[in-house]
Structure 1
Amino acid sequence: MLNSMRKNVSYLFMAMVTLVAIACQDKNDQKGPPAVTAKVIADVNIIDIRSGSISKKHVVIDSGKIQQILPASKDEAEVIEEAELINGEGKYLVPGLAEMHAHLPAVIWNDPQMEETLFLYLSNGVTTVRGMLGHHLHLELKEKVTKGEMLSPRIYTSSPSLNGNTVTSPEQAIEKVTAYQKDGFDFLKLHPGLRLHVFDQIVQTAKKVNIPFAGHVSTLVGIRHALQSGYATIDHVDGFLEGLVPASAQVNPNENGFFGYDFTEKVDTTLIPELVQLSKENQVWVVPTQSLFTRWFSPTPAAALAKEPEMVYMAPEVIENWINSKKNLTETADYSAERWGKFMEIRKKLIRSLHENGYGLLLGSDAPQVFNVPGFSIQHEMQAMVNTGLSPLEVLQMGTLHPAQYFKEEGNFGEIKEGASADLILLDKNPLEDIAHMQHPHGVMVRGTWISREQIDQKLKAIDDKYDKLKK
């Protein structure tokens, strides 16, 4: 049975609905009343993403935005028939998450693979995606999403990769950076292999044409120079571990292994504060993608990860490639569970320090990547962040409030407030008590469109069935 609401709440909302209906009727010159698109999430526990406080409210949504947040009442009252009511009794409401290190397939916007990928993100409450390996096809996708022509998280997209193979001279750097900015990409994606003088030209041109740059730190650039150059984000905590190796060790920077793993024993953790301070001074956000290291690079056998429930949503050949990739990376003479454990403790210490004293952390899981299924991997990432010592609230802020601040969209999304985009996750249990309660949401709303648990399960089953047939 739907929750009842106070009469004054009903009158306020019905008045608002009437005004919306009149405006729509005038605009469309219709004779009959237009269909009402409004929704009310009633009697729900709203989590204030800034403070962690919880209050029971009614949330009124229309035209893709949160129109009103009204006090809840225990009194019997009239049910608002003009709006779709969503029962929030005993449930918790948090802002939609931003996946700040995502990958989108290089296919046209209406390709089934794109539809599946975007839905996998939505199914786990990801309502904003920052694509980290851009393609010109993604520009049309972003336009379609911005216009509301397709169901998708909002899209921010990088340029195609700038790396040691694609940019080999300062002249190429000027040409590509200028072109990508004119094309409309949101930022530049940097990959490894850039020579120092080419990197410096990329930075100079990017600042001149006003386009941010983000991603990896090339070994010939180094973390200190990278931070001082003003990255928008450094992802994977790339370059930081190498930066903890004292100059006296006289290592070859190109022999660092997987994100500095081969330098594990040479690290001096007393150098952490210096690097963290540089990140703060130069306003560089960090996207840890810790799940990349707790899954792909972990001692957990590939066969065990391949049997996890969410793997049914990926094509069989993808799973096979992931198994081989993990084996090639971890089944070597240089790899051991003990050394991995030391490596991970250094990363955890870096992440905690970057959170406490750096410029800020953003939530990202690098999906789809080896055993990181889109949407589902953000759950693994949140747990990995809690395991580094952050509280569930701090982790949720990494995926909501911080991305809004990063994109300079604070107040437009990333928190539950009047006037903000209706990007919401309805949960059965309080995620501040256990971040695992973010899994299996009761429903997800993306810019006012409600996706119920039943709809999520139906779509996931269709994807499962599709790939199950390929196995036979």
Structure 2
Amino acid sequence: MSSTLRGAIAALLAFAAPIATVFPAQAAARAGDVIIRHATIVDVEHARTLADQAVVTRGGDIVATGPDAKVARSWRAKRSIDATGRFLIPGLWDMHMHFGGGPELIEENKALLPLYIAHGITTIRDCAGDMPYDVLAWRDEIARGTLAGPTLLTSGPKIEGINPIWKGTLEVGSQAEVDAAIARLKGLKVDFVKITDSTLKPELFLYAVSQAKAAGLRTSGHIPMALTVGQAVDAGISSIEHLDYAFKAGVKDEARIAADFAAGRIDRAEANRELDAGFDPATAMAAYRTFAAKGVFVTPTLNGSRVLAWLDSDTHADDAYLAYIGPKLRKTYDWRIQRAAQADAAGIAARHDHFDRMAATLPMLRDAGVTIIAGTDAGFLNSFNYPGIGLHDELSLFVAKGLTPADALSAATRAGPTWFGRLDRYGSITPGKAADLVLLDANPLQDIAATRAIETVILRGEVHDRADLDRMLAEARAKVAAWNAAEAK
């Protein structure tokens, strides 16, 4: 063989070798952990559904989505889920809940974590209680995978005044103490800052909000009666917790009422009566447009308000869900129950009326462009406002009070990630997003009650089918039954 021929053959083999190695690699199906087939994906952002889709997850990530036939040709997975006739949504977020009740209630609080998973809630925001350091530890344990639970975001200890009614706080009485508290919270790597008004001076409330913002921390809280809501917004508050404050912002004489309260000319009861009587829709819409322009979100926590407003006619004594709430936690309900029971007929009627008029602001907020966040206020102290199922009650109330099912679903899947600046990771079913998913038996865009019809929950890529979810609930009931028996001895 001539040297010329040998050289030509060598050149041909050198050219062919890479082709032989590339084509088999291209033809091989890519590997995932889970493939969900024939699902109808709910595109929450655009309030639409996409039929006959497949979703592939690997680890804690979504790695592929698209028409079922196309994805199934390109991907293989260790586990396949047939989602024919079912609807896939992003994981739900409860953006206002509380752990608390003191050291004796630590285990009863920790036992609530599976209730969230069992109800499709993959992320919770703890808005401060009296066991903040335990909750911070749980957050980190969940993130490491050593504790089962939804992703937990927490404020850690709240900022308060000196000798407040709330325990587990960072007490501040000066600007220097506010600065120290914010430095402490940054050191704890809290996810946001909670500020309340039991004894906190109004001027320190505004200072704390502004300094937290300057430190790069989001803030939420209870706005002192001596301030207007607008002052808190101007200081840089990130979310307004409880619809009462949005209602207050719509009162024409709010500034005068705040000043009278600050000067001691009226007490809290009189201030509340004047606020109830002074709501003005035009004032409210102007305030709400300012909220929207400044990126201030509102967490209505309607369900907790509803429960308290109607305790006169619904004692909740026969609630089946009490089987999931430990006896010491149930005991913390007594405080609000007893307060509600002290109201006379006029007080009860006023309570009902206030709730209805307050709830009527919900579509006004939406129309003004305010982002509404779904959060329950569930936890210790807040009577019969149950962790887990309470979020579904909240969403039902949103729709009953004027939002669309699409609005409500967005409030529970996209508003939370948006507030935390994590919409690049959560809130839709697309490659690169977290594998936090809920498979439903019905379409929540048609009926928000569909969020209760859960077939499967995928949390950080781990599949919990209906049997697994039922097991979680059974174990929770068994724990509570054992605690009840011990209490009865």
Match in the other structure for 1:6: none
Q: Do 1:256 and 1:262's aligned partners in 2 also have CA atoms closer than 8 Å?
A: no
Residue 164 and residue 57 in structure 1: after superposition, are their counterparts in 2 closer, same or farther (change >3 A)? same
Superposition CA RMSD, Å: 3.0
Query: What displacement does 1:52 show?
Result: 2.2
Q: Do 1:297 and 1:326's aligned partners in 2 also have CA atoms closer than 8 Å?
A: no
Query: What displacement does 1:285 show?
Result: 0.6
SS of the residue aligned with 1:442?
strand
Match in the other structure for 2:22: none
Query: What displacement does 1:402 show?
Result: 1.7
Q: 2:114 aligns with which of 119, 131, 138?
A: 119
Match in the other structure for 1:461: 474
Query: What displacement does 1:282 show?
Result: 2.1
Does residue 287 (structure 1) correspond to residue 283 (structure 2)? The answer is no
**C-alpha separation between the residues in 1 aligned to 2:224 and 2:345?**
22
Moved more, 172-181 or 148-157: 148-157
Residue 419 and residue 106 in structure 1: after superposition, are their counterparts in 2 closer, same or farther (change >3 A)? farther
Residue 248 and residue 57 in structure 1: after superposition, are their counterparts in 2 closer, same or farther (change >3 A)? closer
Q: Do 2:30 and 2:74's aligned partners in 1 also have CA atoms closer than 8 Å?
A: no
SS of the residue aligned with 2:403?
coil
Match in the other structure for 1:267: 279
Query: What displacement does 1:204 show?
Result: 3.7
Matched residue type, 1:453: R
Match in the other structure for 1:155: 152
Match in the other structure for 2:385: 372
Match in the other structure for 2:5: none
Query: What displacement does 1:246 show?
Result: 3.8
Q: 1:69 aligns with which of 65, 69, 75?
A: 65
**C-alpha separation between the residues in 1 aligned to 2:64 and 2:192?**
34
**C-alpha separation between the residues in 2 aligned to 1:196 and 1:323?**
30
Match in the other structure for 2:189: 184
**C-alpha separation between the residues in 1 aligned to 2:296 and 2:99?**
24
Where in structure 2 are the equivalents of 1:238-249 lying within 5 Å? Answer: 238-247=244-253
Query: What displacement does 1:235 show?
Result: 0.3
Match in the other structure for 1:138: 135
Does residue 412 (structure 1) correspond to residue 430 (structure 2)? The answer is no
Q: Do 2:209 and 2:232's aligned partners in 1 also have CA atoms closer than 8 Å?
A: no
Query: What displacement does 1:223 show?
Result: 0.8
Matched residue type, 1:198: L
Match in the other structure for 2:395: 382
Matched residue type, 1:144: E
Match in the other structure for 1:42: 37
**C-alpha separation between the residues in 2 aligned to 1:178 and 1:87?**
50
Residue 139 and residue 446 in structure 1: after superposition, are their counterparts in 2 closer, same or farther (change >3 A)? same
Once the two structures are superposed, what CA deviation does each residue of 1:441-462 show, in whole Å capped at 9, x if it has no partner?
A: 1111111011111111122112
**C-alpha separation between the residues in 1 aligned to 2:331 and 2:249?**
35
Does residue 209 (structure 1) correspond to residue 229 (structure 2)? The answer is no
Once the two structures are superposed, what CA deviation does each residue of 1:367-389 show, in whole Å capped at 9, x if it has no partner?
A: 11321111110011001111111
SS of the residue aligned with 2:155?
strand
Unmatched segments (≥5 aa) in structure 1: 1-10, 18-36
Moved more, 309-318 or 253-262: 253-262
Query: What displacement does 1:346 show?
Result: 2.3
SS of the residue aligned with 2:360?
helix
Instruction: Please say which structure displays the higher CA radius of gyration.
Output: 2
**C-alpha separation between the residues in 2 aligned to 1:235 and 1:82?**
43
Moved more, 39-48 or 201-210: 201-210
Q: Do 2:120 and 2:438's aligned partners in 1 also have CA atoms closer than 8 Å?
A: yes
**C-alpha separation between the residues in 2 aligned to 1:225 and 1:375?**
34
Q: 2:327 aligns with which of 292, 300, 316?
A: 316
Q: 1:426 aligns with which of 435, 439, 449?
A: 439
Residue 122 and residue 13 in structure 1: after superposition, are their counterparts in 2 closer, same or farther (change >3 A)? farther
Residue 81 and residue 402 in structure 1: after superposition, are their counterparts in 2 closer, same or farther (change >3 A)? closer
Query: What displacement does 1:215 show?
Result: 1.7
Once the two structures are superposed, what CA deviation does each residue of 1:116-141 show, in whole Å capped at 9, x if it has no partner?
A: 22111111111111110061233332
Q: 1:57 aligns with which of 53, 58, 68?
A: 53
TM-score normalised by structure 2 residue count: 0.82
**C-alpha separation between the residues in 2 aligned to 1:457 and 1:362?**
28
How many residue pairs match? The answer is: 439
SS of the residue aligned with 1:60?
strand
Among all aligned residue pairs of Structure 1 and Structure 2, give the percentage whose two residues are the same amino acid. Answer: 23
Q: Do 1:261 and 1:343's aligned partners in 2 also have CA atoms closer than 8 Å?
A: no
